[in-house]
Copies of this chain bind each other. A is one copy, B any other.
Amino acid sequence: MVSAKMYELGTKKSTIRTIFEFGRKRAAEVGEENIFDFSLGNPNVPTPDFVRDAAIDILQNYEPAQVHGYTVAPGNPNVRETLAQSINDKFGTHFAGKNIFVTSGAAAAITICFKALAEAGDEFITFAPYFPEYKVFVESVGATLKVVKPRPEDWQIDFEDFKKLLSPKTKAVIINSPNNPSGAVYSKETIKKLTDILKDSGQDIFLICDEPYRELAYGVDVTWVTDFYDNTLVCYSYSKSFSLPGERIGYIVVPDEVADFDKIFGVIAGAARVLTHVNAPSLWQLVVAKCAGKAVDITPYERNGKILYDGLIDAGFECVKPQGAFYLFPKTLEADDYAFCERAKKYDLLLVPGADFGAPGYFRAAYCIKTETIERSLPLFKKLAAEYRG
């Protein structure tokens, strides 16, 4: 009587959700402070004061109709200009307001791009480990997601496998750097090699850059991809940088250089319309424009990442050094990552199996939690590791 597919999508609990609920149950039994929940990518650095102050200033001093009225679908024209300028200031680019489509966060931004581009039979390619909602969103627009196998030594790209998956059906390639769940940041060499392969393909393949973690990089540069490849769409969100995940505000950059700008901007507008975009939340459009380019303090994440990394290495884990986002993606101590994460639960260490991200044999630990919780978890990781040494 109703869509079986929608039912499955709406009711099948994700692994992360199941872990989260286990954590809530355990917290009720043993106390919140005894649960070491590394499962959620929810930023724990508070929203900066300048963001709150901007919101209050706008509410107190602007005309309500200017704050809360509909904007045109791509966003308030002044906001679009300001966001373009702040990108230009940072990356030396030359975008104008017309190159920005303001969205309700990055999930909407990437799905609008998928819906805009997809025709029946199209394939999208991404790289393991990857954010599992990509598969849901790509399939929801009638396309197929192909996944390049992981490169565990540094979580950069396995180009040989990528070339095997490229086909005349490839409509777009999705990258996510800094990466959820690996924490890797794609090097300039990786981006250059990837875009060279796309250029050499002789096809108009789109490169969709999902960049909600752009500002969260520790001592490495996050390469600005439109400098390397014309057919690039950059999707951004303020969820992580400004700790505003609940407010749903982000944007798509559509460069002049994409194959047929008017056409691509048109399909993006059409896709947004059927995805019931209407407009991105209007107060938050004004707030992020007012705060555009302001520096975000990422030192709490950097410190957490270092403490957890050092602790895990000390306990005998293998792990690529954190470069960005707020995740570590270490090797599990047995081949079955689900079994490993189950075993970790004995110590109330809540971890997510890598198989959920297309990379079995690893686990994701989100370190966007209290530093003190991380510190107190380290002896437990040691005990867990000791079990495996027998």
Contacts and interface: CB of A to CB of B under 8 A. Distances in A.
A60 B52 CA distance: 8
A115 B7 CA distance: 11
A313 interface: no
B59 A246 contact: no
A344 interface: no
A1 B47 contact: no
Interface stretch (A270-278, A352-360, A375-383): A270-278
A247 B281 contact: yes
A245 B70 contact: yes
Interface in A164-208: 204
A3 B136 CA distance: 19
B10 A272 contact: yes
A42 interface: yes
A282 B260 CA distance: 37
A279 interface: yes
A140 interface: yes
Given A248-B278, A282-B247, A284-B281, A264 B64 contact: no
Contacts of A268: 10
A59 B51 CA distance: 10
Interface in A245-286: 245-248, 259-260, 263-276, 278-279, 281-285
Interface string A1-38: 11101111111000000000000000000000000000
A324 B65 CA distance: 22
Contact of A282 (B108, B246, B263): B246
B68 A246 contact: yes
- In the assembly, how many copies of this chain are there? 2
Interface residues on A, range: 35 or more
Contacts of A68: 47, 243-247
A235 to B, nearest CB: 11
Contacts of A272: 10
A107 interface: yes
Interface in A277-299: 278-279, 281-285
Contact of A245 (B7, B69, B274): B69
Interface in A62-76: 63-65, 67-71
A368 to B, nearest CB: 11
24 contacts: A2-B267, A6-B266, A9-B269, A9-B273, A9-B274, A11-B269, A11-B270, A46-B63, A55-B55, A55-B283, A65-B243, A68-B243, A69-B245, A104-B104, A104-B248, A104-B276, A104-B278, A111-B274, A112-B276, A137-B274, A247-B283, A248-B278, A248-B281, A275-B275
